[in-house]
Structure 1
């Protein structure tokens, strides 16, 4: 298959956008039967004006990927255009907002198959004035017009510190910067965290923030958090989250973006078509971190320590989002990977271990055998948190007994969802002789044992045994301390009113009383039935009661 045929097959927008990104970084190769062309309608354009991108050299119905890079080297626009009779065209309106459309030169890159073309245009204050970067443009800038475009080093005094809060300076080419001296002043005046306040508009335009790499070393050495605050979004980076050397010439670029682009909307639409349980909320956060050293750059993806992200929802978003079914998902290509998150008082909070693109989605999974079932609400809530799953795509089997291995797995998913369980050493030995390392439940069983939540019998865990109600009571009460519930072994002991109290094992008596008084477990009105197996519906209800209650 030729290169052109491979390009013709890449009809999906996300593939075309990735191809375009690759083509923008490397020379075009391959033979084209007809010249692929790109044109822009003007060399200069005013804010609020329009510019048309057009070209020829494609087959009818072909997909042409188009990307526009801003003066700050961020993505200003990306789309996939469909050619008609061998031609493609798109007319764009330049935003009037200075933060969304800074003055300067914009690069247009178009890709079709193995061919690419590139043009530029400038957003100017006055047509024909030759003034792409007027010094008087300075939203939020403390030192207008003094920092040149594309400077390799950040002036040490850039920005302004007021106590532990630093306000960045906007450069002539549309980058926010804070200098080393300014950061050091904020670090010295901080008690535990340094805050950098970005304009809310920076989230919509994806305007980058640049800091000296040495400032991250100072933050880490002084055990100070870095808080990035912009509009309704705040990101807390603990000391050690980003490692950087003290190299005076290196800098870290952080780009935050909450714009729902056409490409992102297309990815979400395809996700929802593949699984109707998903519903988009329109809440998106993309965070890119780069280490720049001269002309070299490298992405910082994984964090040394998890960050804390809070997103304040608008009243309309808060009203539309269900706290029971909403969660944060890492958009990994066409896949959505659940990362947790909680909503309380209209604020969504989650703890990413790496940065990329995240979306708040609702996941309302329905099972045909749970319609009008007493456990349906609890199962839906836990399915939305990906703590429980069905036995297949349509069935949950609520009356089926649950094994000790299955109970350990879903209970530890709940503890992990909360995000407060201490970590155990990697590679630690499995404490139970009957749990093979290859089993799906090996890790949660080991974690439950390490945390003292579940124990075995004479060195065996008995993973395939059905878990009894009194065993479940002990595990739930021991897990309660991770969810800010009163409880824990030895606390709140009392005499139960169950008629079958005498049937409860001595080692479970206190836990059964606590599970009852805390509302984690209930009997049948008269008896607790301690030796009866727990069924899947009961397990979901127990663990759902264990989770903290959030509010919209």
Structure 2
């Protein structure tokens, strides 16, 4: 190569290596790679663009895992399938774990169109290759790999059905790296894996990441909602920053609670789209999907919480959230606007109380309220309706518009929505006469039963055999006073959610207090992996 060409290549290499440390996969406008393979000393693939010029001659550069230059080749226009595709091949490549592919550059492609992706080596002639992003796992034929593969999605939000299907045939996890805010996925690419509980679709961009187990989409049901077959259905997934007005409303709602916003609201949304543009949301049932929001890393975990913003009411509500280094993982069974806020709430009458850390933690997570702004009344008994509301809140469920079928719960009652939601989720039972008795105080036996049902809803209920149940209850001399919830109390003890009143008394028939309720809810949330320890 001529000295001037070597100098330009060196500058390009430095630039791309610097960018690769900032973002593993870069894509701007409508440019990206697809169908990458690396086997038998040859790297092949396609670079695509949403613009076309007869004079386009994009150059693609190749580097080994240490950043050493391997070669350059020119991509040639092949086909238009919604974007303009340019195929390329580089032969005589030495054997590495993977090769880094940079580009394109050339007439019609400017610096802002540069992309970076890694392709992993495969020696299986029946395997189409790694084709993954920077973090893809190794390829493999036959049974699907437990690794993952990344696919770059251009600004138009389209993804090739055959490419996506092929990726899921090889890997249990496939990541779609979005250049824009959304991706439209042909459902036929996912249909073969619709009931496979191991298949996970990760959709990510600068705003956040959506983790979607394929089986929760219920593609047949979703297609029926928009009056098409699965092969005609499109699944649209959006991860978009909220508009200025919504962000301002979330900020105002946080300030009204005495808090501040740590992560601005992002709209995580999934809809099925029919041929006529009709849309419908999937029903996730009790399956909690994870969404990840980036953070600065300076948060106080005991004061921070993920929240859902309801535009209709202007209110914020608790979302089960785990905090790790510089990110929040929010878990919920529905799409909405999500943010992270920080509060510093306490009450004068819990200072020095044994339940103070439980109450403060859950108050800052919007799970428990005070009786007033300054008092919690920890030793006051709690009613059945009040505790139903707390459990619904702790699970991140939105109260329904239905009061359920209880004779003594009117649609105008403040607790109607939460009681209806709790009943629908099988968290509560009524009495034989058809009543719920919402204003009756709840005892520790009933409280334990509700908490255990909440564990079951969150798919975190431990198994307890009859032998284990007998052993767990035997150490309490008053276990004979338990009327009906022997199993639920044993499970609650086993899960570390309920303690005895003393070392050998359980107090199953005693009225539960607000302090005890807060303690049990905190333990429930930790056991369900809904909050940090």
> Which of 197, 202, 219 is the equivalent residue of 1:228?
202
Matches within 5 A, 1:39-438: 102=29, 136=58, 146=77, 153=82, 162=130, 168=151, 174-175=155-156, 177-187=158-168, 189-190=169-170, 195-198=174-177, 202=179, 206=180, 208-212=182-186, 215=189, 227-230=201-204, 233-236=209-212, 238-240=216-218, 243=223, 245=228, 254-257=237-240, 266-276=248-258, 278-282=259-263, 284-287=265-268, 300=279, 302-305=281-284, 308-311=289-292, 316-317=296-297, 320-322=299-301, 325-330=304-309, 332=311, 335-338=314-317, 340-343=319-322, 345-346=324-325, 348-352=328-332, 355-414=335-394, 416-417=395-396, 430=405, 433-436=407-410
Q: CA deviation at 1:268?
A: 4.4
Kindly indicate whether the alpha-carbon contact (under 8 Å) linking 1:233 and 1:311 is maintained by their aligned counterparts in 2.
yes
Kindly indicate whether the alpha-carbon contact (under 8 Å) linking 2:75 and 2:86 is maintained by their aligned counterparts in 1.
no
CA distance in 2 between counterparts of 1:249 and 1:482 reads 33
Kindly indicate whether the alpha-carbon contact (under 8 Å) linking 1:210 and 1:251 is maintained by their aligned counterparts in 2.
yes
Partner of 1:492: 469
CA distance in 1 between counterparts of 2:424 and 2:229 reads 42
Pair 489,480 (structure 1): closer, same or farther in 2 beyond 3 Å? farther
Question: Which runs of 5 or more residues in structure 1 are unaligned?
Answer: 1-95, 105-129
CA distance in 2 between counterparts of 1:361 and 1:302 reads 27
Pair 211,450 (structure 1): closer, same or farther in 2 beyond 3 Å? closer
Paired residues, what number? 406
CA distance in 2 between counterparts of 1:449 and 1:312 reads 30
Question: In the alignment, does 2:436 pair up with 1:464?
Answer: no
CA distance in 2 between counterparts of 1:223 and 1:380 reads 37
Partner of 2:522: 544
Q: What's the secondary structure of 2:437's corresponding residue?
A: coil
Pair 456,371 (structure 1): closer, same or farther in 2 beyond 3 Å? same
Q: CA deviation at 1:532?
A: 3.5
Q: CA deviation at 1:343?
A: 0.6
| TM-score scaled by length of structure 1 | 0.55
| TM-score scaled by length of structure 2 | 0.57
Q: CA deviation at 1:437?
A: 5.5
Q: CA deviation at 1:227?
A: 1.0
Q: CA deviation at 1:198?
A: 1.4
Q: CA deviation at 1:322?
A: 0.8
Q: CA deviation at 1:383?
A: 3.1
Q: CA deviation at 1:548?
A: 2.2
CA distance in 2 between counterparts of 1:222 and 1:157 reads 34
Q: What's the secondary structure of 2:367's corresponding residue?
A: coil
Mean CA deviation greater in 535-544 or 488-497: 488-497
Q: CA deviation at 1:359?
A: 1.4
Note the alpha carbon deviations across 1:40-62, whole angstroms, 9 max, x for none. xxxxxxxxxxxxxxxxxxxxxxx
Q: CA deviation at 1:340?
A: 1.4
CA distance in 2 between counterparts of 1:98 and 1:247 reads 31
Question: Which runs of 5 or more residues in structure 2 are unaligned?
Answer: 1-22, 32-51, 63-72, 88-116, 118-127, 131-138
CA distance in 1 between counterparts of 2:194 and 2:502 reads 55
Partner of 2:114: none
Q: What's the secondary structure of 1:398's corresponding residue?
A: coil
Kindly indicate whether the alpha-carbon contact (under 8 Å) linking 1:520 and 1:542 is maintained by their aligned counterparts in 2.
yes
Note the alpha carbon deviations across 1:452-511, whole angstroms, 9 max, x for none. 754536654433222233443454456555563546695522455667x28834546676
Q: What's the secondary structure of 2:217's corresponding residue?
A: coil
Kindly indicate whether the alpha-carbon contact (under 8 Å) linking 1:418 and 1:482 is maintained by their aligned counterparts in 2.
no
Pair 371,510 (structure 1): closer, same or farther in 2 beyond 3 Å? same
Kindly indicate whether the alpha-carbon contact (under 8 Å) linking 1:154 and 1:178 is maintained by their aligned counterparts in 2.
no
CA distance in 2 between counterparts of 1:313 and 1:285 reads 11
